[in-house]
Structure formats: structure tokens, C-alpha cells
């Protein structure tokens, strides 16, 4: 917060202190974006398509099992999973869902959140769950490898200055959790993968776009929700991603080798369905959970009540 605004807030009575911008209106819908499909060009790869749509490599593999990620083939139909059910979390600040490897930035005016693909912590170096805040913002950050990193790789220097060799990229957002950041990268092919030491990596253009949307003090919520459910108009959608431990299976094999519908996932589906639980399509639900393609699939619809005015039907 600029010093002038800070001094003004201190001088005002508590009841008159304005709420911070990120604590105002809330986005009211359960989803954002629209599904896309395209015909692959000869030169297309999943890495390139993912970056063009701000998606990740693993989710492109999950959405298109059986398709060669490096040579899809000219004319092959490619599903681009660009519609997202929002995580079950407050619609404010930044919300990160680790299994889908996505960050949602909620504007303070209640308009649609902006989704960004991310890279997350690899096995044994998981990104923490919970709520924190943005505590600092830096353009051109220095990277200081941790003691663990330097023990694993003694060739690492104590400090890597800003520049093309810096793994933090050009911009960094520091979290209230020590040693954890949301930052860019000099290796964009790692976005949509479990490759970091616990930090949240973003495409270079992604962190540049997000940086200006973020204020110090903004809340950050990190959740682990591979299964999400929400309404779009009169249709209830289910979106199932590989769990974090399944992401490596999908990266290698193109689909998970294990699956289950957890108790919390079941409760989330039933809670979202509400009065329309009897309309749930359980065979489709089991199929979505088993395949975990990472894009929303209809699992229930509200009954349509049609009332025709007298004389409005077909002529006798």
C-alpha cells in the first residue's frame, strides 16, 4: 500500500476505513470459459497448443488420450479444455487448485476470474495447502537456492541475479509462507507439470499479466480438489482431474492407471445437485471419475417446464 494511503487509513476512525479492493464484489457463477476443439496442424504439439490457450501439458494429455502429444497428425481433432468449473473456495483474491495445476485470479469488481496454467511442486516437495497472502512483489527477482537445493547440487551459486538464467523469471509474488512464491520461469515447458520445489510457476506472459492484477495483502487460497462440480445455466457439470499423485502417470501414459470416487467428492456432487440429486446420471459420473479427462461433462439437468398459451400449439 502506498505510504499516503496507509497514513490516511491510520488517521480515519475504524468504522470509516475503506475495505481493500480485493474484498469487495464476488463472482456469482460456478464456471468460467468455454470448451474449444480444433483440427491439428502438421506442426502442432501439445506443448505449443497448451501455451497458446494458457493451459498445461498434463491436462492436454488427459483431455486427448491416444493422441501423440508431439505429432498429433494433421486434421486430428484436439480437445482444448478451456472451460473450468471453479474450485469450492472463496471467490476472492487468488485461488490455486493443485490437481488441475491452475490459478484463478478474481477481479475485485466481481467480473469473471482469469485462469492461468501453473507448474507445482514435485513428489516429496509438495506445494502447501491453506490460506496465506501476497506479502511482496518484485520485478527482476534474485534467486537464492535453499540449503537443501545446494546440498543436492553443490554447483549452485549462493545467488542467481535477475536475467535469462534465473529460474524465477522476470517477476515474483512472495507468499506469507517462507520460501514459497508465485513466479515466472525460464523453462516454460515445465508449466502444467509437477516439476518445482514447491513454488508456483507460471508462463512468462502469465506472470507478467497477473503481476499488475495483484496487490500486497491479497488473499491466496490453495486447495486440493481433483473433482469439481458446478452449474452452468440448467445443467450440472462434473470436472475430474488426475489427483496430484496421478499426474506423473498421465504425463507418461496419457491417462491415470488408478481411480476412485472419494467420500468428499461424493458429498460435493450431492451438495451441488441439491433438489436435483435424483436427476444425477451415475453411469456418466463413474465414467468421468474413471477417465479424469479434466474438462466439464454434463451429469444432470433441471427439468424443463413448458407452458404453452392457448392456441399456440400445432394446427389441428
Task: Please tell me whether residues 188 and 250 are part of one structural domain.
Answer: no
Exactly one of 199, 241, 253, 275 is catalytic; name it.
199
Of the three residues 198, 225, 252, the one that is the final residue of a domain is 225
Task: Please tell me whether residues 200 and 113 are part of one structural domain.
Answer: yes
Task: Please tell me whether residues 182 and 295 are part of one structural domain.
Answer: no
Contact residues for 23 (Cβ-Cβ < 8 A; gap 6+): 92, 108
Cell numbers describing residue 108? 475485485
* Mean pLDDT of all residues belonging to the chain: 83
3 state DSSP class of 124: coil
**pTM exceeding the 0.85 threshold for the entire prediction:** no
Is residue 42 part of the annotated active site? The answer reads no
- Tell me, yes or no, whether 246 lies in a domain: yes
- Tell me, yes or no, whether 188 lies in a domain: yes
Is residue 183 part of the annotated active site? The answer reads yes
Cell numbers describing residue 180? 514459497
Question: What are the pLDDT digits (tens) for 157-215?
Answer: 667 777 777 888 899 999 998 888 899 988 888 898 777 666 899 999 999 999 999 99
Task: Please tell me whether residues 289 and 249 are part of one structural domain.
Answer: yes
What is the rounded distance in angstroms from the CA atom of residue 269 to the CA atom of residue 40? 34
State the CATH number of the domain containing residue 193: 2.40.440.10
Exactly one of 171, 183, 253, 275 is catalytic; name it.
183
Owning domain of residue 194? 88-225
Contact residues for 228 (Cβ-Cβ < 8 A; gap 6+): 85, 86, 87, 88, 97, 100, 238, 239, 240, 241, 268
What's the structural domain count of the chain?
2
Task: Please tell me whether residues 246 and 214 are part of one structural domain.
Answer: no
Which range (46-55, 64-73, 299-308) has the least confidence?
299-308
| Closest by Cα among 63, 106, 55, 53 to 240 | 63
Which range (59-73, 190-204, 299-313) has the least confidence?
299-313
Amino acid at each position: 500500500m502506498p505510504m499516503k494511503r496507509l497514513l490516511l487509513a491510520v488517521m480515519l476512525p475504524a468504522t470509516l476505513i475503506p475495505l481493500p479492493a480485493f474484498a469487495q464484489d464476488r463472482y456469482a457463477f460456478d464456471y468460467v470459459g468455454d470448451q474449444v476443439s480444433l483440427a491439428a496442424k502438421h506442426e502442432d504439439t501439445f506443448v505449443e497448443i497448451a501455451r497458446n490457450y494458457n493451459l498445461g501439458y498434463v491436462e492436454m494429455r488427459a483431455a486427448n488420450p491416444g493422441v501423440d502429444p508431439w505429432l498429433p497428425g494433421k486434421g486430428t481433432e484436439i480437445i482444448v479444455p478451456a472451460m473450468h468449473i471453479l474450485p469450492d473456495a472463496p471467490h476472492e483474491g487468488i485461488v490455486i487448485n493443485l490437481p488441475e495445476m491452475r490459478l484463478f485470479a478474481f477481479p475485485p469488481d466481481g467480473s469473471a476470474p482469469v485462469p492461468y496454467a501453473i507448474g507445482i511442486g514435485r513428489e516429496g516437495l509438495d506445494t502447501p495447502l491453506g490460506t496465506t497472502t501476497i506479502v511482496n512483489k518484485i520485478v527482476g527477482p534474485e534467486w537464492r537456492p535453499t540449503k537443501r537445493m545446494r546440498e543436492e547440487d553443490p554447483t549452485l551459486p549462493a545467488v542467481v541475479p535477475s536475467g535469462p538464467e534465473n529460474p524465477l523469471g522476470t517477476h515474483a509474488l512472495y507468499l506469507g509462507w517462507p520460501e514459497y512464491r508465485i513466479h515466472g520461469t525460464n523453462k516454460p515447458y515445465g508449466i502444467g507439470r509437477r516439476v518445482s520445489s514447491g513454488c508456483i510457476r507460471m508462463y512468462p506472459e502469465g506472470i507478467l499479466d497477473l503481476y499488475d492484477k495483484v496487490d500486497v495483502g491479497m488473499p491466496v487460497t490453495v486447495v486440493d480438489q481433483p473433482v469439481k462440480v458446478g452449474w452452468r445455466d440448467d445443467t450440472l457439470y462434473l470436472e475430474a482431474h488426475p489427483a496430484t499423485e496421478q499426474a506423473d502417470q498421465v504425463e507418461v501414459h496419457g491417462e491415470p492407471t488408478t481411480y476412485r470416487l472419494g467420500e468428499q467428492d461424493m458429498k460435493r456432487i450431492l451438495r451441488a445437485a441439491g433438489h436435483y440429486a435424483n436427476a444425477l446420471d451415475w453411469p456418466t459420473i463413474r465414467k468421468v471419475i474413471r477417465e479424469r479427462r479434466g474438462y466439464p461433462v454434463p451429469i444432470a439437468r433441471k427439468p424443463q417446464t413448458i407452458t404453452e398459451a392457448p392456441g399456440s400449439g400445432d394446427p389441428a
